[in-house]
Chains A and B, each alone.
Chain A
Amino acid sequence: MSRAANCPACGAPVQFAWSSAVQTACPYCKAILVRHDVDLEKVGEVADLPPDASPIQILSEGVFDNKRFTVIGRIRYEWEQGAWNEWHILFADQTSGWLSDAQADYAVSFLAQPPAERFPAGEELPRGRVFQLQGAQFMVTHLTRVHYVGFEGELPFTTTDRSEFLSADLRTQDARFATIDYSEEPPLLFLGRFVDFDSLKMSNLREFEGW
């Protein structure tokens, strides 16, 4: 698939960093563009993201498990007690994952194959329920009603159906976590672990006045 296209709204060239990107925004006219095979379709217009204090930005770079990654997109979500960013990160081998930043508490996760046995519906998932995932015991610690705030850059899916959805947080004893994302049917499973900021060896970060 081509990495260059033209915005169907304004005709400006749109470059993709990732060949499998599904959604992006036109950097000129702020059209939300969704890719269908070779065509780009405008599905809406990007709203400005509210100011946030994440030190990460598009094109920030870092290292996870000895693999270099570049930040190519982000989704900002909100829940009742605050907001956080899911930074879409692209590795050199063209795989992509997520670097979440919740008030400078960081975690890296990847889309994973859900177990053969279907997850129960989000509303029926009790806290404390334990799932055996990839050989570890993951316990449901929290159910979150997630609100979509906005996005920037390239994403692996469209945000059309993500305005509000339920998400379950699961954790292991050794600081790994899982998210069951009920925005799709069947629900998506993300597996990852919490990371120390310094271990990511990040560069091209934002600067903070006075710091």
Chain B
Amino acid sequence: MVAAPRVPTPAAIRCPGCGGNIELRGFSHTRSAVCVQCSTIIDPSTPELTILQRFDDRMRVQPIIPLGTRGKWQGTLYEVIGFQVRTINSDGVDYSWHEYLLFNPYRGFRYLTQYDGHWSDVIPVHGLPAFTTMSGRKAASYNGTVYAHFQNARAETTFVMGEFPWAVRVGETNVVDDYTAPPYLLSSEVTEDEVNWSFSTYVPADTIWHAFGLKGAPPPARGIYVNQPSPYAGKAGKAWSTFIKLLLVWGVLLAWFVFSASNREVFRHAYHFAQTSPGEHSFVTDVFQIDGRGNLEVELRTDLNNNWAYFNLALLREDGSQGFDFGREVSYYSGRDSDGAWSEGKARDSVTLPRVAAGRYYLRIEPEMDPQASAQAASGMSMNYEVVLRRDVPSSWLFWLALPFLILPPVVTSIRAAAFETQRWAESDYGTNSGSGSSGGDDDE
């Protein structure tokens, strides 16, 4: 058998409407060819060039990718041979998207769709998606992925250009259901006697501009599109897992910090104080040795009740080279009223001096009490108290200060991810905007 000769480029046809030339690119696949001059749709597969429709072209739209443009797309050379505008109407507002029909004589047809600067690559689905539910909403399952139902709409073909392998007509409507699992979209189109499924993948406009050698920059995408991948997708989860890891490190460091601190007592002494006794109330303790390095905690334990005391304290080096002056107020009040028992303050107080060099030290202590307190307090103007000094106590406040900084990134990422999804779903049948329709892409900056 002799091999058939190379398939010739289809000859242009003469429009039966206006006599203009109609170039053909789809070989004998073409069932509809549009005359741009007189907006007539012709079936070039019929010898008499049957007119399928003359349509109102007031809605004329210029395709961004000119018909006849070729480009290597998904590894295959494709030519743009058809262009159609499809429109859905939601509460009186029209939303239109553009469909570019791509053709390769060996690999057939596929589409590019464009809405508000968002592009998708579309191929037919040969399998039969199954209907299911997801979080109580309609969903479709296909190839192991569940797609959440986004919207149901009646789509009308509002403008056509170029050629198509089926009989296309302006004004024809189909019921379209979109199911999303970004960056993928599963769509069903119901015609009179069958359901057609298609599978879209969100593609950055740049890749299309590059593949088809288009001039200039693609129009910026506005709003968030149904299958636009979230820049936060997976990031919230990652941020949380990072947080968990950091938290573990944090915990280990904290434990090490606490357990490695020597926390030993270097001084302890009990005293009695009475405000009424005459003379200078300040006194100095015996000299004691502070070894090693780190901080020093000064703790005051009193038996104050419904009373307060003030301590002027100074930790002084025996050789006079260094001194720490500080004051602490200790107060404790308690009682019972109509609401029950209450208390305020504490009878003990402690303060940590951050860095105290090793050496020999003594304390100067000057307690002070309220002369008026004697009237109310049973203890009058006296108290017993104890001073305890501990060397190298664990201080974890820095750790607790760091904790909010650790948790901030995952929380912020989660909030942003949720906000992105909220904006995406606002345009769906389940969103806040679905009833108004007025807050579509046009309002977005």
Contacts and interface: CB of A to CB of B under 8 A. Distances in A.
Given A142-B194, A209-B8, A173 B27 contact: no
Interface in B119-153: 124-130, 142-143
A152 to B, nearest CB: 9
Contacts of A50: 28
Contacts of B9: 208-210
Interface in A44-94: 50-53, 55, 57-59, 81-82
Contact of A141 (B6, B166, B167, B194): B194
B3 A53 contact: no
Contact of B6 (A53, A172, A177, A209): A209
B7 interface: yes
Contacts of A139: 128
Interface in B155-193: 165-167, 193
Interface stretch (B99-107, B300-308, B313-321): B99-107
B79 to A, nearest CB: 9
B391 interface: no
Nearest to A17: B1
Most B C-beta atoms less than 10 A away, residue of A81, A103, A142, A172: A103
B126 A175 contact: yes
B166 A205 contact: no
B105 A173 contact: no
A207 interface: yes
B167 A173 contact: no
B67 to A, nearest CB: 15
A18 to B, nearest CB: 14
A146 to B, nearest CB: 15
A104 B28 contact: no
Contacts of B220: none
B108 A104 contact: yes
Interface in B24-63: 26-29, 31
B109 interface: yes
A174 B127 contact: yes
Contact of A208 (B27, B143, B165, B195): B27
Given A141-B194, A141-B195, A206-B6, A55 B128 contact: no
Given A142-B193, A197-B107, A173 B126 contact: no
B105 A103 contact: no
B128 A103 contact: no
A204 B429 CA distance: 51
B127 A104 contact: no
A81 B166 contact: yes
Contacts of A58: 1
Nearest to A169: B194
A176 to B, nearest CB: 8
A27 B105 contact: no
Contact of A27 (B1, B3, B6, B31): B1
Nearest to B103: A104
Contacts of A110: none
A204 B124 CA distance: 27
A55 B108 CA distance: 10
A70 to B, nearest CB: 11
B165 A103 contact: yes
B4 interface: yes
Nearest to A194: B126
B27 A53 contact: yes
Contact of A59 (B1, B107, B142): B1
Interface string A103-141: 111010000000000000000000100000000000101
A174 B128 CA distance: 7
Contacts of A177: 126
Nearest to B125: A175
Given A103-B109, A104-B109, A173 B28 contact: no
A171 B126 contact: yes
B186 to A, nearest CB: 12
A107 B193 CA distance: 22
B298 interface: no
Interface of B: 1, 3-4, 6-9, 26-29, 31, 77, 104-109, 124-130, 142-143, 165-167, 193-195
24 contacts: A50-B28, A55-B106, A59-B1, A81-B167, A82-B165, A103-B29, A103-B109, A104-B104, A104-B109, A105-B109, A105-B124, A107-B126, A127-B193, A143-B193, A171-B126, A171-B128, A172-B127, A173-B127, A173-B128, A173-B142, A175-B125, A194-B126, A208-B7, A209-B6
Q: Which 9 A-B residue pairs are closest in the complex by CB-CB distance?
A: A104-B108, A53-B27, A194-B126, A175-B127, A175-B126, A207-B6, A208-B105, A171-B128, A53-B28
